Structure 1
Amino acid sequence: MTKAQDYRAMTPDQLDDELVKLKKEQFNLRFQKATGQLENTARVRLIRRDIARVRTVATTKRGEAAAKA
């Protein structure tokens, strides 16, 4: 689990890359759950929350950039 502070230090492009990485991991976890191979079920929740954090920070950064322009 990464803190929101770490995400705030990233650029919007880095946030997009992080979001893609997290979405892939979420997909893999869902696939493991469907096949009965998922051992750490709490990881699904953590990934979902990290995705929300990344999206929130990205939206905030884009809003600030639009306000400056």
Structure 2
Amino acid sequence: MTVVEPLAERRIALVDLLDRLLAGGVVISGDLTLRIADVDLVRVDLKALISSVNEDVPSPWDPRGEVRP
């Protein structure tokens, strides 16, 4: 019988973690509801996409389609 040991504790720098997350992109979403006496007064639905930008890829909004040096 093989004994499986738990994963060793690894320390990862915050910069490395952010680099990994931004390389693939992160989606953040949430709901906020302001309610008084069981009556919903305000409801806000928040969604954000956070990703890194590659300057080698031309922007779809650039009419010339040129890559900046």
TM-score by length of 1: 0.24
TM-score by length of 2: 0.24
> Whose RCO is larger (CA < 8 A, sep 6+)?
1
Whichever structure has more strand as a proportion of its residues is 2
Q: Which one has the largest radius of gyration?
A: 2
Whichever structure has more helix as a proportion of its residues is 1
